Amino acid sequence: MRTLIALLLASWLAAAQTDAGTASHAQATTASPAASQLTIPAGTKVPIALKHAVSTKGAREGDSVYAETTFPVVLNDRVLIPAGTYVQGRISQVQRGGRIKGRAEVLMHFNTLIYPSGYTVMLPGAIENVPGADKTSMKGNEGTIRQDSQTGEKVGTIASSAGTGAVVGGLSNGGKGALIGAGVGGAIGTAIGLLTRGNDVKLDAGTTLEIVIQREVPLDASRVPTTTGTAAK
């Protein structure tokens, strides 16, 4: 009788251990995918620097744009995007400044991250800020970079031309000549303003931009380096 009880107890213990092992394996299997996944949240801001110049004078829609991250993006003590990660995008729209109205504009979207290891991730990235560019501003929410207005400059050209004409006219024909000279000078200044195209948006190589990730981006944690080292130059 005791032998039978001992055998039943041993069998029960063995079954319990097997069930516990199966449960542990199931938990490990369930946790494994989560542990291997990282996510760049929507709204994450990424500082980058252009690897080449971009200008509305020569740029065309569809042209590629190349940049590099300048500072690591870290979330919960884990590097998501190390400094030195390459970023690739395209010019979606470009417009040169008009002679009478219309400022120069360029719209770029960034769509690819290339890690130092070669791991490539597709992303939706739009420019949010251009801290490294002078005389430019952001237009709307789509990431359009626009050249600042030149109205003051053109008014200054007209006034300067009118003033010069008045001086020349005054020296040659007195008061009446000054009025005529001012009119002629103003007309010349106006003509210069109309014939001169507005300034182009010029972003030199090394210009710093800030892009924002528009939707969350899943990452394979095993392929994202844990250090903040830069890519090979």
Average pLDDT over residues 38-58: 95
Query: Does 38-148+198-223 carry CATH code 2.30.30.100?
Result: no
Residue 89 has pLDDT above 60, yes or no: yes
Which has the closest alpha carbon to 198: 164, 156, 147?
A: 147
Is a pLDDT exceeding 60 seen at residue 20?
no
Q: Given this model, what pLDDT does residue 17 score?
A: 59
Beta bridge partners of 114: 86, 120
The tally of CA atoms less than 13 A away on the side-chain side of residue 147 is 24
Minimal CA–CA distance to 215: which of 95, 40, 33?
40
Q: What is the pLDDT of residues 146-191, one digit of tens each?
A: 988 655 444 444 455 445 544 445 555 555 555 554 455 445 545 4
> Do 133 and 145 meet the contact criterion of CB atoms below 8 Å apart?
yes
Provide the pLDDT confidence category of residue 136 given band limits of 50, 70 and 90: confident
Task: Provide the residue ranges of all domains of the chain, joining segments of one domain with +.
Answer: 38-148+198-223, 151-197
What does the pLDDT read at residue 198? 79
